[in-house]
Amino acid sequence: MKPVPNSFERKITLKASRSHVWRALVDAEAFGQWFGVALEGRRFIAGEWTQGQVTYPGYEHVLWNVLIERVEPQQLFSFRWHPYAVNPKIDYSQEPTTLVKFELQDFEDGTLLKVSESGFAHIPDIRQKEAYYMDSRGWEEQLSRLEQFLAESAKARESGGA
């Protein structure tokens, strides 16, 4: 059986300024809008846990729970979580977490965003393969949702909205 890689990285070039991408990542309410988590009134503060109910169809039973690790303005945002922790009958709290990192760089007329997740080697064997597969696939979809959120936000700003 082939071992699961310990990490993966996804990249996307966004047609948005670094400051707008940054805001969509570290403003908890904005993050929740594109990610699919109810985070109204929440904040991301390094060293603190943030929770919210998942609103993504089919996963509404999941409580999203992350430990904010680093918030380095306009450069790096990271958190720890239990990957693909979606079964309400399982207590994931004693399992190791993975580290999700968002890194921003200026790129041509926009922003290059790198998302990486590491630590799968420490996830229990029984969950490791599924967690790796679902998260690596999930981030591709989430980056597409972020891109759409940023485009819609830009249109709203151009038309005099928020």
Listed as ranges, residues in the chain with pLDDT below 50 are: none
Average pLDDT, the chain: 95
What is the pairing mode between strands 98-107 and 49-54? unpaired
* pLDDT digits 0-9 by tens, 121-154: 999 999 999 999 999 999 999 999 999 999 999 8
CA distance 77 to 55: 22
DSSP-based helix, strand, coil % in the chain, nearest 5: 35, 30, 35
State the pTM of this model.
0.94
